[in-house]
Amino acid sequence: MYNWSECTGRKIFQTFNISRNLASSRATATGQHPPPSMTSSDFESRRYLSQQVTDGVMSIKLSALVKLLTDKYKRHYSKLLPIPWNDDIHLNLHDVYTTLEVKKVKGATFEMGAELENLHDMFKSSDDRRIRIEGAPAMGKSTLCRKLAYDWSCGELQQYTLLFFLEMRHVVELDMVTEIFHQLIPDDFDLSKQELSELISQYKESLLFLCDGLDELDDSHLTKTDIPKLIAGNLYYWCTAVITTRPHLCDNYLKTCDLFLLVKGFTSDRTNEYILKYFKDDNIKGDLLIQQIEKQKVGTDFITDLLENPLHVSFLCILWEFHKVQGYSFPETLTKLYSEILECVLKRYCAKNKIDLIDSELPEEIISEIDALALDSYKAYRNKKTMFDKSDISSEASLNFGLLVKDLGHALRKFRRKITFSIT
């Protein structure tokens, strides 16, 4: 079996000699001198030229693929949604992204090690080719991956020629190349699966895979895909792969990883940094929020623990902005915090759609729709289901409240439209 260039070279060689034989026959018939036969040197020269043409074509394909991925990551990951399921509120990632506390974990003892000073420090050692990142729900694992993809699209992480960001909850294909096409490459893009395989093989040491949310991929399907082989190093051994998951849910697959990192969320200083970035257009409001937080910290650990979670810090910012009341006090339990955020989102929906409140309270029809959605969500949770179709939702009106994510998987062209919700 020969590769493309060898086959092409042999065809050139055969065609050249056939034409030489015909020319020789014609020359003999007319009394002319026949042309010389094609030598092995001629064959090598033509095979070299054929390879040069192939390399040139693949270089063009690579440049086009890099341009496609760069544009995709810049457009999709330049914005940060402080409430993931409500796209009415979005911030510029570059303006508000705040470094998370990420610590190394030592061996099987799970002993905390040194903190990463910079997110890109995880790539310092060429020996750390499989990187395991764990963190509790809403600690910022997906945002971390998006930040890496965005950084690469902006010219950082230059040691990686290609970066493939794959969301595990969308994995449907069994082999990796097909999955890359499924999630990242449009149908009309001029690149074949064979050509992508060749690019991966050629640039294997400068490839970065971001596999976000391994725990969101059903185990019965996961075992049929190439993902376990990628993690174990039985596929694309020389590439670098970052795999994120919730704690201890995928230990069997991740125990062989070279580097184990734990996302701890925000420190106190970084909480304040995020708040000031969030209110960058109104520094006074940000300063007042920080003062209120310090005031409510006294005598309770709840607020301190709450502030480690980036999603909860976003909630506090949104509530502070929404109420616009001097002296507003934050709820003192997580249940009350989520209740207030729910009320905030629904009142924004009513205002946007000119639905009148009744004595500042939500209308009964909105409450009924929410009750139905809550029951649907509970049933899905009991069945360990986080993605469902419109037909699974008994209250169609609730689809527009801003509580569910219309998850089109960005460029998942072949995926049927689905609705997902987050349980944190």
Q: Which residue has the tokens 């795999």?
A: 243
Please tell me the least confidently modeled range out of 107-116, 230-239, 269-278, 398-407: 107-116
Q: pLDDT tens across 6-15, in order?
A: 444 444 344 4
Residues 279-300 have a mean pLDDT of 86
Q: How many CA atoms lie within 13 A of 292 on its CB side?
A: 18
Query: Residue 175's pLDDT band (boundaries 50, 70, 90)?
Result: very high
DSSP state, 32?
A: P
Phi/psi of residue 110, nearest 5 degrees: 60, 30
Q: For residue 297, is pLDDT > 90?
A: no
C-alpha to C-alpha distance for 108 and 35, rounded to whole angstroms: 74
Q: Which residue has the tokens 């809550």?
A: 374
Give helix then strand counts, H and E, for the chain.
15, 12
Q: For residue 59, is pLDDT > 80?
A: yes
- Cα four-point dihedral sign 72, 74, 80, 86: negative
Instruction: Using DSSP bridges, classify how beta strands 240-245 and 207-212 pair: parallel, antiparallel or unpaired.
Output: parallel
Q: What token pair was written down for 388? A: 């469902």
C-alpha to C-alpha distance for 297 and 341, rounded to whole angstroms: 20
Strand-pair partners of 30: none
Q: Give the list of residues 6+ apart from residue 192 with CB closer than 8 angstroms, or none.
A: none
C-alpha to C-alpha distance for 327 and 320, rounded to whole angstroms: 10
Q: pLDDT tens across 205-215, in order?
A: 999 999 999 99
Q: Which residue has the tokens 């010219």?
A: 155
Model pTM above 0.85: no
The share of the chain scoring above pLDDT 90, in percent, equals 29
Strand-pair partners of 89: none
Give the number of other Cβ atoms within 10 Å of residue 273's Cβ.
15
Are the C-beta atoms of residues 104 and 113 closer than 8 Å to each other?
Answer: yes
Q: Give the list of residues 6+ apart from residue 198 with CB closer than 8 angstroms, or none.
A: 58
